[in-house]
């Protein structure tokens, strides 16, 4: 039964209540639910209970798990519970000091100039608001990661700070409605898309193994044009995999509730229910790890790259974001929106924040993989806009124009079938082309890529909204009228509201007229982090210092360049060492057939034409290989120039090489082609 396994591997509040003294449990509960300051006097008690519980589950080691600012989502160093004694024996020991802090080697992690390579010391600090868990033979303790000089070197610390910021400013706004919650939290339910391919075929593709995406591949005979895979019946092998996946997720307390086939062949989705943003961020990383582990157990490979197959829908991570009080009120529930001033002021704050800091929000979702996906007709464009739907848009129009906001009675769908139940319509439709869409009681940020941590994007959203709340609270405290503030915010920032088709050719032109940015590549998008606006936003809300923000920019560019360089080198290697020899071998076989036929007096016009075409394409391939080599070798050394060069010069050269190689694929006999094709990868599971 699910109830018997759910959360069995997690040191959550249920386990704490069983293992901790009542007074210690109450303190931990207050820390987790209300963000109360941590009391160091309980550390030893918590550590001992955690160690005993972990050992009962077979653990011999513990690790402080942290999230460095790198393409690697997590980092860990394992220490045993063993403490030697003078007589040569040992005891199992784990102190509060060891629970609260650790000292991993920080020298090899990119730091954006915060620390020199020779400076090795770093510190991990236990995050008691996210649950520890056991995996294999270790106790995993979620932590934040700091440099010797105190700067954040991870993704979690800014996220935790942003939670503090939004809570502080939201409570100030709510005070004007007579409400005094202990804490205001952001909540997230991240939908995780992924591809599944056969492990044996994956192993034969160097590009998938080294870069996560296919650098070559002609279009399959059948793609997604029939829409027959979306929500289709699960194949037996996939269903078995998903059953095991659910059981593994549930054991870690991850409340996965939805699983289905996605639009593209071999693409699927798993989605959990909402949790606090910090817990959702940590468990989403666990989910990605578990996806890969369970897939391998079934002879499969899980692909989390945003665009593993050219011409096929990519994978996103829809970030369903909301805010609520610690006593359970969802602050994004419209209710009677015509008279709900609280919702109106919160909506105005979000619209203002997204418009004013749209480029910062875009930068939070920037990555090499995501650049291939955004705007490619399966994801929102790189233009940040807000979708509200017809009802909320009408409310905004009324507020801006100064006319009374009308009531919206409940509406029901007429099915025309008496035996079917009446269906109450939602207050708004859904818009899959909008990056930031209101979907009833939350906003769905659809821009993040499937392989990304959701820490950065939610840090950005929390901070942006906290800044708007701060400005509203300051104005209200100074005696300004609430209606005037709402009208001003919505009037000044109405340009960001767009309820139309984000895939249309007209939208980029319209967005440009509105003054909305369209930052299509990561190097361009990350520039937003260098602006005075971004520095003031993050530093002013205590989320990132200017130095920490500069580090994020530098690490982001460096990571982008390194990934693109790996792709380029892999592209050259596959073309030169695998594709070219296959083409030469097949061409030789065709030429041998021509010679054999002519030797007995038979003309071979078909074979001759084929050989000529193969020869021409193979020569073009060699030319493109040499051109790409020269292009990569000419890359500038400057981090900023290097990243832009790979985006603007190297990627087009890789595409040129791919175009020739993909044409060769459909002209070379399949038995000669050196690795599995799209037909093999997408339709063999």
The average pLDDT across 486-513 equals 94
pLDDT at 119: 58
Taken as a whole, the chain contains a residue count of 685
Bridging pattern class, strands 386-387 and 436-438:
parallel
pLDDT digits (tens, 9 = 90+) for 581-602: 999 999 999 999 999 999 999 9
Contact yes or no for 232/261 (Cβ under 8 A): yes
Going by the DSSP 8-state scheme, the letter that residue 274 receives in this structure is P
Q: Mean pLDDT throughout 343-363?
A: 97
Q: Among 110-119, 179-188, 278-287, 527-536, which stretch is predicted with the lowest mean pLDDT?
A: 110-119
In sequence order, which residues have a C-beta less than 8 Å from that of residue 265 and are 6 or more positions away?
220, 222, 223, 224, 229, 312, 682, 683
* Percent of the chain surpassing pLDDT 70: 94
DSSP state, residue 578: I
Structure-token match 């650098």, residue found: 215
Contact (CB, 8 A) for 146 and 153? yes
pLDDT computed for residue 577 by the predictor: 97
Mapping DSSP to helix (H, G, I), strand (E, B) and coil, where does residue 309 land? coil
pLDDT at residue number 431? 74
pLDDT tens sequence across 59-97: 999 999 999 887 667 888 888 987 765 555 556 788 999
302: left (phi over 0), alpha (psi -120 to 50) or beta: beta
What's the average model confidence in pLDDT over 207-211?
97
Please say whether the beta carbons of 113 and 550 come within 8 A.
Answer: yes
Q: Output the pLDDT for position 117.
A: 59
Cα–Cα dist 364/534, whole Å: 12
C-beta atoms surrounding 580 within 10 Å: 18
Q: What's the pLDDT band for 126 if we cut at 50, 70, 90?
A: very high
Higher pLDDT, 227 or 269: 269
What distance in Å separates the CA atoms of residue 216 and residue 662, rounded to the nearest whole number? 6
What gap in Å lies between CA 470 and CA 169, rounded to an integer? 5
Mean pLDDT over residues 108-137, rounded? 78
Residue with tokens 């093999």: 680
Maximal CA-CA distance, the chain: 101
For tokens 């009675």, name the residue.
409
Higher local confidence (pLDDT), 420 or 20: 20
Q: For residue 329, name the pLDDT band (cuts at 50, 70, 90).
A: very high
Give the pLDDT score at 8: 94
Report the mean per-residue pLDDT for the chain.
91
- DSSP secondary structure letter of residue 449: B
Write phi, then psi, for 403 (nearest 5 degrees): -95, 160
Q: Model confidence over 434-444: pLDDT tens digits?
A: 999 999 899 99
Q: Is residue 462 within 8 Å of residue 163, measured between CB atoms?
A: yes
pLDDT surpassing 90 at residue 237: yes
HEC readout, 164-227 = HHHHHHHHHHHHCCCCCCCCEEEEEEEEEEEEEEEHHHHHCCHHHHHHCCCCCCCCCCCCCCCC
- CA–CA distance, 230 with 226 (Å, rounded to integer): 9
Instruction: Give the C-alpha separation, 69 to 65, whole Å.
Output: 13
At 420 the pLDDT is 77
Q: Which residues of 389-406 are buried (b: 16+ CB within 10 A; e: fewer)?
A: bebbbebbeebbeeeebe
Indicate if the pLDDT at residue 455 is higher than 80. yes
Tokens of 97: 């000091």
Q: Please provide residue 79's backbone torsions phi and psi, each rounded to the nearest 5 degrees.
A: -120, 145
Identify the bridge partners of residue 122 per DSSP, sorted by sequence position: 147
Pairing mode, if any, of strands 386-387 and 412-413?
unpaired
User: So what's the pLDDT on residue 474?
Assistant: 98
Distance, CA of 662 to CA of 626 (rounded, Å): 17
Phi, psi of 574 (to 5 degrees): -65, -40
Using 50, 70 and 90 to split pLDDT, how confident is the model at 4?
confident
Q: What is the mean pLDDT of residues 477-497?
A: 96
Query: pTM for the complete prediction?
Result: 0.94
What helix, strand, coil percent values describe the chain, rounded to 5?
A: 50, 15, 35
Angle between helix 482-492 and 455-477 (nearest 10): 140
Residue 662 CB contacts under 8 Å (≥ 6 apart), including other chains: 216, 217, 218, 219
- The string of DSSP letters for 513-531 reads HHT-----SHHHHHGGGGS
pLDDT reading at 483 higher than 60: yes
């Amino acid at each position: 039964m699910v109830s018997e396994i759910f959360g069995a591997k997690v040191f959550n509040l249920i386990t704490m209540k069983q293992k901790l003294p009542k007074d210690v449990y109450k303190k931990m509960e207050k820390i987790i639910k209300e963000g109360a300051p941590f009391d160091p006097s309980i550390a030893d008690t918590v550590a001992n209970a955690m160690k005993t519980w972990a050992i009962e589950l077979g653990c011999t080691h513990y690790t402080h798990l942290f999230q460095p600012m790198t393409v690697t989502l997590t980092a860990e160093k394992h220490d045993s519970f063993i403490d030697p004694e003078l007589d040569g024996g040992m005891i199992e020991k784990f102190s509060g000091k060891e629970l609260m802090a650790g000292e991993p080697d920080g020298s090899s992690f990119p730091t954006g100039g915060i620390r020199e390579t020779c400076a090795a010391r770093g510190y991990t600090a236990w995050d008691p608001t996210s649950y520890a868990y056991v995996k294999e033979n270790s106790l995993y303790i979620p932590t934040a990661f700091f440099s010797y000089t105190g700067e954040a070197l991870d993704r979690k610390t800014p996220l935790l700070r942003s939670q503090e910021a939004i809570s502080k400013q939201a409570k100030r706004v709510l005070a004007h409605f007579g409400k005094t919650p202990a804490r205001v939290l952001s909540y997230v339910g991240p939908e995780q898309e992924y591809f599944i391919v056969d492990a044996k075929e994956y192993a034969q593709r160097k590009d998938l193994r080294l870069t996560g995406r296919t650098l070559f591949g002609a279009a399959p005979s059948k793609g997604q044009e029939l829409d027959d895979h979306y929500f289709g019946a699960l194949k037996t092998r996939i269903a078995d995999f998903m059953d095991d996946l659910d059981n593994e997720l549930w054991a870690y307390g991850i409340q996965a509730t939805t699983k289905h086939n996605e639009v593209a062949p071999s693409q699927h989705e798993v989605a959990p229910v909402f949790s606090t943003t910090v817990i959702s961020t940590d468990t989403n990383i666990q989910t990605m790890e578990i996806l890969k582990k369970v897939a391998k157990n079934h002879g499969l490979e899980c692909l989390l790259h945003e665009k593993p197959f050219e011409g096929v829908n990519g994978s996103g991570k829809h970030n369903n974001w909301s805010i609520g009080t610690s006593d359970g009120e969802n602050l994004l529930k419209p209710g009677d929106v015509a008279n709900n001033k609280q919702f109106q002021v919160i909506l105005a704050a979000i619209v203002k924040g997204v418009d004013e800091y749209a480029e910062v929000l875009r930068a939070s979702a920037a990555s090499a993989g995501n650049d291939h996906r955004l705007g490619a007709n399966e994801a929102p464009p790189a233009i940040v806009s807000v979708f509200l739907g017809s009802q909320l848009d009408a409310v905004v129009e009324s507020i801006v124009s100064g006319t009374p906001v009308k009531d919206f009675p409940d509406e029901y769908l007429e099915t025309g079938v008496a035996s079917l139940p009446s269906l109450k319509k939602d207050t708004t439709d859904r818009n899959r082309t909008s990056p930031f869409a209101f979907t009833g009681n939350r906003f769905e940020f659809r821009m993040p890529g499937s392989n990304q941590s959701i820490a950065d994007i939610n840090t950005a959203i929390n901070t942006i909204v906290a800044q708007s709340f701060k400005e509203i609270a300051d104005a209200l405290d100074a005696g300004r009228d609430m209606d005037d503030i709402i009208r001003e915010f919505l009037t000044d920032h109405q340009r960001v509201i767009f309820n139309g088709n984000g895939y249309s050719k007209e939208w980029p032109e319209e967005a440009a007229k509105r003054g909305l940015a369209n930052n299509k590549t990561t190097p361009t998008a990350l520039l937003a982090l260098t602006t005075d606006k971004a520095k003031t936003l993050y530093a002013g809300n205590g989320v990132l210092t200017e130095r920490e923000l500069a580090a994020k920019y530098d690490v982001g560019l460096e990571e982008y360049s390194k990934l693109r360089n790996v792709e380029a080198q892999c592209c050259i290697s596959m073309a030169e060492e695998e594709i070219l020899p296959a083409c030469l071998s097949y061409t030789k076989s065709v030429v041998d057939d021509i010679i054999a036929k002519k030797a007995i007096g038979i003309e071979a016009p078909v074979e001759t034409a084929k050989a000529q075409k193969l020869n021409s394409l193979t020569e073009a391939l060699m030319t493109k290989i040499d051109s790409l080599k020269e292009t990569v070798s000419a890359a500038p050394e400057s981090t900023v120039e290097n990243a832009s060069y790979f985006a603007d010069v190297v990627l087009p050269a890789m595409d040129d090489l791919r175009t020739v190689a993909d044409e060769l694929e459909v002209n070379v006999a399949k038995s000669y082609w050196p690795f599995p094709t799209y037909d093999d990868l997408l339709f063999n599971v």
